[in-house]
Amino acid sequence: MVSSWGRLGQWEHELRPLAERAQLPRQLQAAGPGLAHGMGRSYGDVCLNPGGVLWRTTGLDRFISFDQDSGLLRCEAGLLLRDIQRLALPRGWMLPVTPGTQLVTVGGAIANDVHGKNHHAQGSFGDHVRRLELLRTDGRRIDCGPQHEPAWFAATVGGLGLTGVISTAELQLRRVAGPWLETETLPYASLDEFFQLADASESGWEHTVSWIDCLSGKGRGIFLRANHCAAAGRAVPPARARSMPFVPPVSLVNQFSLAPFNSAYFNLQKSRAGKALAHYEKYFYPLDNLHEWNRMYGPRGFYQYQSVVPRAVGRAAVQAMLQAIAASGEGSFLAVLKTFGERPAPGMLSFPQPGVTLALDFPNRGERTLRLFERLDAIVGEAGGRIYMAKDARMPRALFEAGYPRLAEFTQYRDPGISSAMSRRLMGN
């Protein structure tokens, strides 16, 4: 039985671990319609194939080569971003783009073309992939990159695992002076202030992100910006890993806990306003040391709703979404608001587009939660936005098709031996 990060259910799968590159062509051919599965850190059904085969890629975790002068890294696609950071950082290099957890595989990061807090400066993960090897279930190997077989590359970056199995990738890392970032925490009182801060920060700060209190009604929140810096001699803080030890019978995030949670969090962060120095693991991956934190939503699991809408209508659309959430009586603690830059996306189905993205976690309360999503969908659709597939488990097909205009082009590159719960739900097969 396998579930994804949202724990909305558990489904029977036939698990087939992949570990040896030489055996991959045979392993992929022998199976029925299958799907690559990395760390299962996607929230919804993009990494699931109920009743079918999952090719577990985490055994494909070898470094192949690393050029310390150029920062070019070749590795297998099941390698974790954490292991790349730990190898590269002491040598003065780092991944240019990283999501909010480093416990994901290179293949998963490419297939969802993940983004970080620095989209306006560095684009998305796929912007830093120089080449990749794709294995098709008919035994074909396709070597592609932005310059070589660019259409295969654009279909596979953000291609949701549907074009084949990525076996290896070549990544261009970026130089850093060390593991430290200088950060600044700025409380804001309204959405207007958020947009002013975002505009003012984009040229001088590489990383920008904000937490928004979606219950306050005013759009107050905490804006965090950061740049890499040198901090020689600074001791690295010891990491203390903890675990959510059990699944509580009901979600700990609920109508009683949310308002006090959000208020306490806002006030705590406000009291920390100003500049500080942060270690990259604490800054980029604040939840990685609380293992299985997704259990706190109880046995019914949770949804994440992440949308992006164009900048010109961004303020009005975000305001409308916050109002719809307040009116619904549902609420979110992990609510993140940030802007994306203008850079064109590398993948046909990449999520980032110029604009503002809002990501919200909601405990699964069945019909009530789904009704709220219908209202949010209407706002996103009208604004010309889209929903992020790495997080989705329920978006309607019409919104998917409207949000991803290169879908028909993408479909030509699909591997007929690969299918997922999401592809069946949104693409019909």
Ligand X SMILES: Cc1cc2nc3c(=O)[nH]c(=O)nc-3n(C[C@H](O)[C@H](O)[C@H](O)COP(=O)(O)OP(=O)(O)OC[C@H]3O[C@@H](n4cnc5c(N)ncnc54)[C@H](O)[C@@H]3O)c2cc1C
Q: Is 214 in the site for ligand X (CB under 6 A)?
A: no
Which lies closer to ligand X via its Cβ, residue 94 or residue 320? 94
* Number of residues engaging ligand X in binding (CB under 6 A): 32
Q: Is 179 in the site for ligand X (CB under 6 A)?
A: no
* Pairwise CA distance, residues 91 & 177, whole Å: 9
Among 46, 308, 321, 393, binds ligand X (CB under 6 A): 46
Q: How far is the CB of 387 from ligand X (least distance, A)?
A: 13
* Pairwise CA distance, residues 388 & 302, whole Å: 16
Residue 355, token pair as written in the block: 């604009």
| Paired residues of 193 in beta bridges | none
DSSP per-residue string spanning 199-255? HHHTTT-SEEEEEE-TTSSS--EEEEEEEEE--TTPPPPPP--EE--S--SS-SSST
Which lies closer to ligand X via its Cβ, residue 131 or residue 320? 131
Among 7, 41, 338, 365, binds ligand X (CB under 6 A): 41
Among 73, 77, 94, 181, binds ligand X (CB under 6 A): 77
Alpha helix positions (H), 128-225: 150-156, 191-201
Q: Is 109 in the site for ligand X (CB under 6 A)?
A: yes
At which residue do the structure tokens 């950082």 appear? 89
Query: Which parts of 280-309 interact with ligand X (CB under 6 A)?
Result: 287
Which lies closer to ligand X via its Cβ, residue 57 or residue 353? 57
Q: How far is the CB of 42 from ligand X (least distance, A)?
A: 3
Q: Is 160 in the site for ligand X (CB under 6 A)?
A: yes
Q: Is 6 in the site for ligand X (CB under 6 A)?
A: no
Q: Is 104 in the site for ligand X (CB under 6 A)?
A: yes
Q: Is 33 in the site for ligand X (CB under 6 A)?
A: no
How would you class 83 by CB atoms within 10 Å of its CB: exposed for 0-12, middle for 13-18, buried for 19 or more?
Answer: middle
Residue 338, token pair as written in the block: 């940030």
Closest CA to 54 of 80, 73, 32, 71: 32
Alpha helix positions (H), 4-129: 24-30, 81-88, 106-111, 119-122
Q: Is 105 in the site for ligand X (CB under 6 A)?
A: yes
Q: Is 100 in the site for ligand X (CB under 6 A)?
A: yes
* Pairwise CA distance, residues 53 & 32, whole Å: 7
Q: Is 421 in the site for ligand X (CB under 6 A)?
A: no
In the complex, which residues of this chain contact ligand X (CB under 6 A)? 5, 35-42, 46-47, 57, 77, 99-101, 104-105, 107-109, 111-112, 114-116, 160-161, 165-166, 287, 390
